[in-house]
Amino acid sequence: MRNDRSLFAVALVIATLATPTTCAGEPFIKFWDDLHLFSHESTRDPYEERIETERHDFTQSTDTVGQGVVQIEAGYSYFYKDKDEEIEGSHTTPETLVRIGLSDDIEFRLRFTYDWRFIDVEEDLSGSQDLIWSFKLRVTDQIGWIPESALELRATAPTGGSDWTLDRVAGGFDYIYGWELREGWELYGSTGCSTDGLGDFSLLPEEPAGDRFMVWSQSVALGIELTEQVTFYSEWFGLFSHALEDNYVISVYNVGFDYYLTQNLVVDVRAGVGLSEDSDDFFTGVGGGYRF
């Protein structure tokens, strides 16, 4: 029943957004005229703008990579938590995200990572997470108060290691939106929902395959272009579980920098702190992205 409600929520978002209206002669819903993938001609040069990655902060970008573009993102993160004098440290890598542009406004995506968790008084855990595959759709351009936005529709495949796999398919969505406040300043955020936390190791209960639950997410961030090569962001995000015996509230504040080596190559660094009892006390990470 909970999975049915999640699928209904996804369908409701799509039905609300995918109304084929026009504005000034252009499709209001950006991906609408891209649904005929083999007959739609590209009208956008994705290399006019520099690379935009998803990996450095929780809130994703509102852009897709563009037709014919392949973009690979990867990195490493470390998480630290001290709860009731039980110290827990976790490492994740390669945090791989492969993005393939099917059209100007639609892309296909694959996510994969491997996790190691070391706990003082318990057995260590390690293994790959379930593979996440998804489609990302550009929805709107910014028009007045209407934000630039995108929608990601996600699902998992039960391919993970025994410590992390759900042994079933999970699904969800992430709606991303942003406003350019002034040149070089952008306010953006995201609202999402998933079944079983999409198998993310940090969101799973002790018995991942045994519990069925929902996770809602919300974020808000401010991005600032400091120089032509350096951007900075400041972000808050929250994750809220439902239907677990012991529900959790994760609240995090983090900051990070992107450094653009070229138009097609960027590296990043980030760090954050937990604001709630269920959050990690501290985390940090490095990574980057390349497109071709």
The 10s digit of each residue's pLDDT in 48-63 is 999 999 988 899 999 9
pLDDT averaged over the chain?
Answer: 90
What is the dotted CATH code of the domain comprising 2-291? 2.40.160.40
pLDDT the model gives residue 81: 96
Parallel, antiparallel or unpaired: strands 86-101 and 106-119:
antiparallel
Please compute the mean of the pLDDT values over residues 227-234 and round it to a whole number.
97
Phi first, then psi, for residue 205 (nearest 5°) are: -75, 180
The answer to pTM > 0.95 is no
pLDDT the model gives residue 3: 54
CB atoms within 10 A of CB 25: 5
Band (pLDDT 50/70/90 cuts) for residue 37 is low
pLDDT the model gives residue 8: 47
Band (pLDDT 50/70/90 cuts) for residue 23 is very low
Segment among 9-23, 179-193, 217-231 with least mean pLDDT: 9-23
Q: How many helices (H) and strands (E) does the chain have?
A: 1, 15
Question: Distance (Å, rounded) from C-alpha 112 to C-alpha 110?
Answer: 7
pLDDT the model gives residue 25: 57
Band (pLDDT 50/70/90 cuts) for residue 290 is very high
Q: Which amino acid is at 101?
A: G
Percent helix, strand and coil across the chain, each to the nearest 5: 10, 55, 35
Of residues 57 and 272, more confidently modeled = 272
Q: Is 287 exposed, middle or buried (0-12, 13-18, 19+ CB in 10 A)?
A: buried
Please compute the mean of the pLDDT values over residues 17-42 and round it to a whole number.
65
pLDDT the model gives residue 280: 96
Q: Which amino acid is at 292?
A: F
Please compute the mean of the pLDDT values over residues 110-125 and round it to a whole number.
92
